[in-house]
């Protein structure tokens, strides 16, 4: 006579509970993946907006006030030839040792977007010691770069965004199908896709910040050359 064994109901409940937790984690991972895809699209939009539009809302209140004050004093200087107001404003904002002629060259009519805003953003890093230099760290000072690396960084950011979109689409594909290639078996695991997307987004964030920083320094280098040639 064959013995029959009853399955403990607690085992069934534990198994059902595990399956529910696994399903909830999968849903959360897919939500994070789609949020990452949305963020990648926003990164492209944000880069395009920063390159083509001037929005005072993106500047701090202090930066707006300093920009307005120096613009006003620079205009008064050009109209009247009286430099005291501009010199006082430049020393108040950049420091007593700062060469006000650098600020004046940046705030001339028609050059504020190109030079004044980068100068204000990097005012804590700018050193006017026999010319315009940049202090990166406490004791590391260099001249501004002579080449703009934006042409290298922007394609990297865009390619990363396209990879995020591709991985997001791949995550949808693997819901119903499996990637058969052995070398791409990792693509069938949504958690791996989520991690890769997160890494790409962090790389893009770091690259965009570095791009803004280096482009500002490049503009300051052009400003320094303009001042020397004038």
What length does the chain have? Answer: 230
CA 162, CA 156: separation in Å to the nearest integer? 10
Residue 168 maps to a domain = yes
What is the average per-residue pLDDT within 187-211? 94
Mean pLDDT of 49-71: 78
Check residue 142 and give its pLDDT: 86
Average predicted confidence (pLDDT) for the chain:
85
> Domain for residue 1, yes or no?
no
Kindly report each contact of residues 186-194 with a partner whose C-beta sits within 8 Å and lies 24 or more positions away, as own/partner. Answer: 190/26, 190/29, 190/30, 190/33, 191/29, 193/33, 193/167, 194/29, 194/32, 194/33, 194/36
Count of domains observed in the chain: 1
The boundaries of the domain holding residue 42 are 34-49+149-217
Q: Is residue 177 one of the residues assigned to a domain?
A: yes
* pLDDT single digits (tens) 126-141: 888 767 888 887 778 8
The verdict on residue 56 lying in a domain is no
| 88 within a domain of the structure (yes/no) | no
Confidence at residue 176, expressed as pLDDT on a 0 to 100 scale: 86
Residue 229 domain-assigned (yes or no)? no
Instruction: Evaluate whether residue 179 is within a structural domain.
Output: yes
Calpha distance 183→209 (Å, rounded): 34
Percent over 90 (pLDDT), the chain: 35
pLDDT tens figures, 141-176? 888 898 999 999 999 999 999 999 999 999 999 988
Percent of the chain at pLDDT above 70?
A: 87
- For 100-124, what is each residue's pLDDT tens digit? 888 888 887 666 778 888 999 998 8
Q: Report d(CA 159, CA 222) in Å as an integer.
A: 29
User: Per residue in 38-55, pLDDT tens?
Assistant: 999 999 998 888 887 765
Residue 195 lies in a domain: yes
Averaged over 88-93, what is the pLDDT? 91
Using an 8 Å Cβ cutoff, are 144 and 126 in contact?
no
The C-alpha angle 92, 62, 78, rounded to 5 degrees, equals 55
H or E element in which residue 142 lies: strand 141-142
Instruction: Give the pLDDT band (50/70/90) at residue 184.
Output: confident
Q: Is the pLDDT of residue 34 over 70?
A: yes
pLDDT at 100: 86
């Amino acid at each position: 006579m064959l013995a029959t064994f009853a399955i403990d109901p607690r085992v069934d409940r534990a198994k059902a509970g595990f399956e529910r937790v696994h399903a909830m984690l999968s849903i959360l991972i897919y939500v994070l993946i789609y949020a990452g895809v949305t963020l990648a699209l926003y990164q492209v939009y944000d880069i395009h907006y920063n390159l083509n539009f001037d929005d005072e809302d993106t500047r701090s209140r202090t930066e707006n006030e300093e920009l307005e004050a120096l613009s006003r004093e620079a205009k008064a200087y050009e109209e009247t030839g009286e430099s005291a107001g501009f010199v006082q404003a430049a020393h108040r904002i950049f420091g007593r040792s700062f060469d006000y002629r650098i600020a004046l060259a940046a705030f001339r009519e028609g050059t504020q977007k190109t030079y004044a805003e980068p100068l204000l953003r990097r005012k804590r890093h700018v050193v006017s010691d026999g010319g315009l230099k940049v202090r990166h760290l406490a004791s590391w000072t260099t001249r501004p770069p002579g080449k703009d690396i934006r042409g290298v960084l922007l394609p990297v950011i865009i390619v990363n965004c396209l990879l995020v979109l591709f991985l997001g689409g791949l995550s949808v594909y693997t819901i119903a199908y499996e990637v058969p290639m052995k070398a791409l078996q990792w693509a069938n695991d949504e958690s791996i896709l989520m991690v890769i997307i997160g890494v790409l987004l962090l790389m893009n964030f770091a690259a965009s910040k570095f791009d803004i920083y280096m482009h500002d320094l490049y503009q300051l280098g052009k400003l320094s050359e303009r001042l020397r040639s004038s």
